[in-house]
Structure 1
Amino acid sequence: MLKQLKKIITASPLLKVTSFNSVSVIIKMITGLGVSKLTAYFLGPQGIALIGNFRNFLNIAHNFSAGGLERAVVKYTAETENIQKQQKTFISTLLGIGFGVCALVGILIFSFAKPINKLLFFEKDFVAVIQLLAFILPLHVLHVYVLAMMKAFEKFNDIIRIHIIGHLLNLMVFAFLVYYFNLQGALFTLIIIPSVLVFFSLYYFREKWSIFKLFSWKYIEKKMLNNFGHYALMALISSISFPLVFLGIRSLLITELSEEAAGFWEAVNRISSYYLMFVLSILNLFILPKLIKAKSNKDFKRIVFNFYKQIIPVYLLGLILVYFIRKPLILLVFTEEFLPAENLFLYQILGDFFRIITLVMVYQFHAKRMTLIFILTDLFLAIMLFASSFFMIKKIGLEGAVIAHFITYIAYFLVILSYFRKIFLFPLFRKSA
């Protein structure tokens, strides 16, 4: 039985990567549980809410400073691998413009550190954390670019090793800093870890260091800059809309209910992120590069259906398990104070199921630079999520937030499936690209 299972995994590149990636995911889940437990013990629901605010801000800062170009780097690294002239243009434009934008974002964050602090932390003073972030953003950006190049070169095992190192470092540094510096220590951890990991990513990328020697100011090209602009615009929409939506929902829960209610909602989202990380990591690590290299609609359909057949059954079983062990899971990750969150799991899990079966199709927008449709559907998702949350929270209360999550992702799935209907539902109506 074990030999047969090993043979099946070895025969499938997707399952082979997935099996190794599972080790990383399990380590991340264990370390994430440790971080959540420490957060709940030392900082409580209010601390979790403020960390949530800072995470939202970090997402915005990372997307703006990296120019939203992570997926563009995967695409053009793969496409120009054997075409040196185009690779020179790509690398020169990426490093020249990318780090220029990063420097500008860093200056803005440093200059407006006090207003940002007030927006995120109200009367608490964490200006020093924000100012430190402004200085070390280039390291974060370099880490993003190097990992994206490694995805394009299909160095999946090395990427997973870097992730494992990051998970372990995160727990150790977080435990030390939160014990001695409380909330400020937790915030410092969020910005220190990516800065340290860049050195590990450069080490595992050492065989490809020569790619950086291609940089030259004279090879910066307007056409490549225009191509980057499409990806930057897509990332800009997501990096602004969704953090604002989550900040809005959190504020609505605090205003309409209480800080504790916002903490319960944040706790369910935290647990959701743990089981979602398995599938999302496969999408980013394996599916996106495959979609970029796909040459036809037939290839696209095959990649999506293989994902459905090989990954979704395991994911579905995992969701069912999470639902039935939700109470001990809450006690494991947090404390008894968070037990009211038990009633929020059903609709959160149902929404997360539709989220994943939709996202594997949505990644085609990034792979093939389908800018307009991505922006329109992403805005639909953000507006639908906030509007339904606003209505349902006022009508039902805390449970309304997760019901809105479920309704939104059903609607999102139907919209995306409708767009790709000729490929998945009526393949005879469209010839392969």
Structure 2
Amino acid sequence: MINSIRSIVKAARNVEIIKVFSSTALSTFVRMLTGFVSVKVIAIMVGPSGLATLGQLNNFATIMLMLASGGINNGVTKFISEFNNVDEEKVRKYTGVAIQIVLVCSLMAGIFLIAFNSVLSRELLHDEAYAFIFVVFGCTILFYGLNTTLLSVVNGFKDFKKFVTISISDSILGLGFSITLVVIWGIKGALISAVTYQSVMLLVTVFLIRNDNRVNFKMLRVRFDRSIAKKYLRYSLMTLVTAATIPVSQMILREHAITQISGAQAGLWEGMNRLSNMYLMIITTSFSVYYLPRLSEISDVTILRREIINAYKILVPLLSFGLVATFILRTFIIDLVFSQEFNPMKDLFLYQLIGDFFKIISWILACLMLAKTMTKTYVVTEMIFSLLFVVLGLGLLRMGGIVGLTQAYMINYIIYFFTMLFIFRKFLFT
């Protein structure tokens, strides 16, 4: 046992992704801490039912924010990392075209939100009194699109220090912004915060990159290049499919949970999802900063296979340890992060944690589809497994209540993992 641990530690020292884990550790810790505090305040102020309503808006906001960014963020990171320190002119062109795409997409998304504010409020939140929230969302969504594009560019430069600084600043400012609105306006403040805090972060990003000569307003003067736009479109399709499938499937299942069981029970599931997102942030943050750009720049199959195998060697033991610890401490975590109203949530942990394990080990391979622009395969698998999640969720929800949704989540990602192994069988095993 001791020798196994020593071998893992020894291997970790030589793996670049661990270095990135270390460099992003403070950023991740701050994001987790601010996330815990934010969820705690919201849970106390609005309760499980309010959290369920907020979950519906968050999922819709995810879709609209992806549309506003054109779904090209992963493409921006890939191409900037590919040409960085190789061809400055291409970096300038790819960045300029990306910003132009985002400007158009954000304006279209904003017009839609403002024009249909009453309908959206009625259908999503079951109350037209919240219509003004969609107007505010429409007026600020452009800032979000620009912010995510700039962050993708910084990520593509592999400027980890600056990326971490921006992330920490965003987390702290976002926490203060969210808590202030929730304390002043309750559920309305939580809803406003959900659709605007990302846009406020643009101020921080612009301030921190103001002296970076690689990113400046001159990029807006770049002539629109259709060939570059077509390359982004392939990434856009993959990203937008993800944006449309995962949040929509959650919205469908949450709506059924609200109508068939109760808003409070649906809120427990939303709380479980939020907690899951927070602790998985440790891995997903470092992956988005390091893993995708790294896979994008590797052209040698042997090196690429080694990179993926090393990721599994390091992450599987760490992930297993973290998830087991989370399960053991689940009662303490619920009391710490939420409130007593959320105590029944402890029944959801087992299946959710198993699902999270298979989700991450599947994502290691799924990232390869993004990095190598396997558009058709990515789109088909995303659509199939989102549909499967809904079908499993609806069936198990009727059979076992809210626990059924976490069971569906677990089953779905187990099947997804073995599907990824099948798709990449030649790459991994030959």
Same fold flag (TM > 0.5)? yes
User: Shift of the alpha carbon at 1:331?
Assistant: 1.1
Please say if residues 133 and 191 of structure 2, whose CA atoms lie closer than 8 Å, have aligned partners that are also in contact: yes
Matches within 5 A, 1:104-115: 104-115=108-119
User: Shift of the alpha carbon at 1:153?
Assistant: 0.8
Equivalent residue number for residue 17 of structure 1: 20
User: Shift of the alpha carbon at 1:216?
Assistant: 6.2
2:66 paired residue among 63, 75, 84: 63
Decide whether aligned partners of structure 1 residues 166 and 213 sit closer, same or farther in structure 2, where only a CA change above 3 A counts: closer
User: Shift of the alpha carbon at 1:83?
Assistant: 2.2
User: Shift of the alpha carbon at 1:194?
Assistant: 2.1
User: Shift of the alpha carbon at 1:275?
Assistant: 0.9
Please say if residues 88 and 219 of structure 1, whose CA atoms lie closer than 8 Å, have aligned partners that are also in contact: no
Cα distance in 1 for partners of 2:215, 2:35 equals 35
Matches within 5 A, 1:172-251: 172-212=176-216, 215=219, 219-251=223-255
Matches within 5 A, 1:116-135: 116-135=120-139
Equivalent residue number for residue 151 of structure 1: 155
**Match of 1:125, SS?**
helix
Q: Can you list the C-alpha shifts for 1:258-308, whole angstroms capped at 9, x where unaligned?
A: 212111111111111111111111111110110110112222211211211
User: Shift of the alpha carbon at 1:74?
Assistant: 0.6
Equivalent residue number for residue 431 of structure 1: none
Please say if residues 381 and 408 of structure 1, whose CA atoms lie closer than 8 Å, have aligned partners that are also in contact: yes
Matches within 5 A, 1:341-380: 341-380=345-384
User: Shift of the alpha carbon at 1:338?
Assistant: 1.2
Equivalent residue number for residue 399 of structure 1: 403
The count of aligned residue pairs is 423
Instruction: Structure 2: give runs of 5+ residues left out of the alignment.
Output: 1-7
Cα distance in 2 for partners of 1:128, 1:10 equals 52
Cα distance in 2 for partners of 1:150, 1:89 equals 15
Equivalent residue number for residue 103 of structure 2: 99
Instruction: Structure 1: give runs of 5+ residues left out of the alignment.
Output: 428-433
**Worse-superposed segment, 85-94 or 335-344:** 85-94
Please say if residues 66 and 98 of structure 1, whose CA atoms lie closer than 8 Å, have aligned partners that are also in contact: yes
TM value normalised by structure 2: 0.93
1:51 paired residue among 35, 51, 54: 54
Matches within 5 A, 1:214-363: 215=219, 219-363=223-367
Please say if residues 98 and 149 of structure 2, whose CA atoms lie closer than 8 Å, have aligned partners that are also in contact: no
User: Shift of the alpha carbon at 1:190?
Assistant: 2.6
Q: Can you list the C-alpha shifts for 1:116-163, whole angstroms capped at 9, x where unaligned?
A: 111221125222221122122221111101111111111112212222
TM value normalised by structure 1: 0.92
Cα distance in 2 for partners of 1:183, 1:45 equals 12
Paired amino acid for 2:121: N
Matched, 1:416 2:420: yes
User: Shift of the alpha carbon at 1:256?
Assistant: 2.2
Cα distance in 1 for partners of 2:288, 2:265 equals 32
Equivalent residue number for residue 430 of structure 1: none
Q: Can you list the C-alpha shifts for 1:292-336, whole angstroms capped at 9, x where unaligned?
A: 101122222112112112222112111000000111111111112
Decide whether aligned partners of structure 1 residues 71 and 187 sit closer, same or farther in structure 2, where only a CA change above 3 A counts: same
Q: Can you list the C-alpha shifts for 1:232-263, whole angstroms capped at 9, x where unaligned?
A: 11122111111110011111112222212111
Paired amino acid for 1:237: V
Please say if residues 96 and 217 of structure 1, whose CA atoms lie closer than 8 Å, have aligned partners that are also in contact: no
Matched, 1:33 2:36: yes
Paired amino acid for 2:411: I
**Worse-superposed segment, 344-353 or 238-247:** 238-247
User: Shift of the alpha carbon at 1:80?
Assistant: 2.8
**Worse-superposed segment, 212-221 or 113-122:** 212-221
Equivalent residue number for residue 72 of structure 1: 75
Paired amino acid for 2:125: F
Q: Can you list the C-alpha shifts for 1:171-226, whole angstroms capped at 9, x where unaligned?
A: 22222211111111112223343223222222332343444455366732221121
User: Shift of the alpha carbon at 1:20?
Assistant: 3.0
Please say if residues 17 and 157 of structure 1, whose CA atoms lie closer than 8 Å, have aligned partners that are also in contact: no
**Match of 1:25, SS?**
helix
Cα distance in 2 for partners of 1:168, 1:272 equals 20
Please say if residues 177 and 186 of structure 1, whose CA atoms lie closer than 8 Å, have aligned partners that are also in contact: yes
Paired amino acid for 1:45: P
Cα distance in 2 for partners of 1:32, 1:218 equals 38
Cα distance in 2 for partners of 1:99, 1:15 equals 36
Decide whether aligned partners of structure 1 residues 217 and 312 sit closer, same or farther in structure 2, where only a CA change above 3 A counts: same
User: Shift of the alpha carbon at 1:421?
Assistant: 0.2
Paired amino acid for 1:28: R
Please say if residues 91 and 214 of structure 1, whose CA atoms lie closer than 8 Å, have aligned partners that are also in contact: no
Cα distance in 1 for partners of 2:380, 2:9 equals 43
Please say if residues 166 and 193 of structure 1, whose CA atoms lie closer than 8 Å, have aligned partners that are also in contact: no
What's the RMSD between the two structures over aligned residues?
Answer: 2.1
Please say if residues 78 and 371 of structure 2, whose CA atoms lie closer than 8 Å, have aligned partners that are also in contact: yes
Cα distance in 1 for partners of 2:57, 2:280 equals 21
